[in-house]
């Protein structure tokens, strides 16, 4: 396990932290009228973190079976292709199509029970499975790095925790500054509703660059 790999994974995790499930739904929870209940916030973030970790473990177990039958350099070439693919498709997101944020806010406001919030977290995770490309790129990097399962599990856990750091920091600001931070949170929510698609493009482009850069470094310079 190298410091370069850890840094690249941390960068991908921070990119993943800007998704609807890991950032914007938590922001909408903070903006829900009435007293901010930490238990609701904890149930939601805890559920989506465990969900991402479980999905990652399942993918790693499947990927490890494939990697056992591949030459290490071939695995790195596959990682390079994945990185280039992510970078290329990022240009398809131009911001003209706006994400349907209203449906998620309606789900949050429909039922505030812990079970309902856990359900929203799982649903958000399932919906994002098709777009969790930075996470898949990170898993590919871990698999190609020839790490033990214990090391991969530790990296996955760290990745999932880094994903929720921005939401936790905003929660700390909400608790410390109370109503003074609400306009800032509202601006973030509004900005995402208007620019969500172009943001996705930037995320995919940066993720593709990080994944491809790691493969190139290990193929030609290490």
Q: What is the 8-class DSSP label of residue 1? A: -
According to the model, what pLDDT value does residue 49 have? 93
What angle do the packed helices 165-177 and 182-220 form, to 10 degrees? 160
Determine how many CB atoms are found less than 10 A away from the CB of residue 217. Answer: 15
pLDDT above 80 for 110:
no
pLDDT above 70 for 8:
yes
According to the model, what pLDDT value does residue 90 have? 66
Question: Residue 83's domain spans which residues?
Answer: 3-221
Q: Please state, rounded to an integer, the average pLDDT across all residues of the chain.
A: 77
Q: Name the pLDDT band for 167 (thresholds 50, 70, 90).
A: very high
Mean pLDDT within 2-22: 84
In terms of Cα–Cα distance, which of 64, 76, 214, 50 is closest to 149?
64
Higher pLDDT, 188 or 35: 188
Q: Name the pLDDT band for 18 (thresholds 50, 70, 90).
A: confident
What angle do the packed helices 38-67 and 149-163 form, to 10 degrees? 150
Element holding 111 (H helix, E strand)? none
According to the model, what pLDDT value does residue 131 have? 65
Higher pLDDT, 167 or 141: 167
According to the model, what pLDDT value does residue 213 have? 78
Domain count, the chain: 1
Mean pLDDT within 64-92: 69
Distance CA 12, CA 45 (A): 19
pLDDT above 80 for 72:
no
Mean pLDDT within 129-149: 76
Region of poorest pLDDT, from 1-5, 24-28, 186-190:
1-5
According to the model, what pLDDT value does residue 50 have? 92
């Amino acid at each position: 396990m190298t410091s370069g790999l850890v840094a690249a994974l941390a960068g991908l995790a921070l990119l993943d932290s800007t998704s609807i499930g890991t950032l914007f739904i938590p922001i909408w929870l903070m903006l829900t009228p009435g007293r901010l209940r930490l238990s609701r916030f904890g149930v939601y973030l805890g559920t989506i973190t465990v969900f991402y970790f479980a999905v990652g473990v399942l993918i790693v177990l499947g990927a490890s079976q494939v990697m056992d039958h591949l030459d290490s350099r071939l695995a790195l070439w596959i990682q390079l292709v994945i990185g280039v693919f992510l970078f290329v498709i990022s240009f398809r997101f131009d911001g003209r199509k706006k994400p349907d944020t209203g449906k998620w806010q309606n789900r949050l406001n429909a039922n505030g029970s812990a079970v309902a919030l856990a359900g929203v977290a799982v649903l958000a995770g399932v919906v994002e499975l098709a777009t969790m490309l930075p996470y898949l790129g990170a898993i590919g990097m871990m698999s190609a790095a020839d790490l033990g399962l214990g090391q991969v599990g530790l990296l996955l856990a760290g990745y999932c925790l880094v994903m929720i750091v921005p939401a936790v920091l905003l929660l700390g600001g909400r608790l410390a500054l109370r109503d003074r931070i609400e306009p800032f949170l509202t601006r973030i929510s509004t900005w995402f509703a208007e620019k969500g698609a172009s943001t996705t493009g930037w995320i995919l482009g940066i993720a593709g660059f990080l994944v491809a850069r790691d493969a190139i470094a290990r193929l030609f310079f290490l």
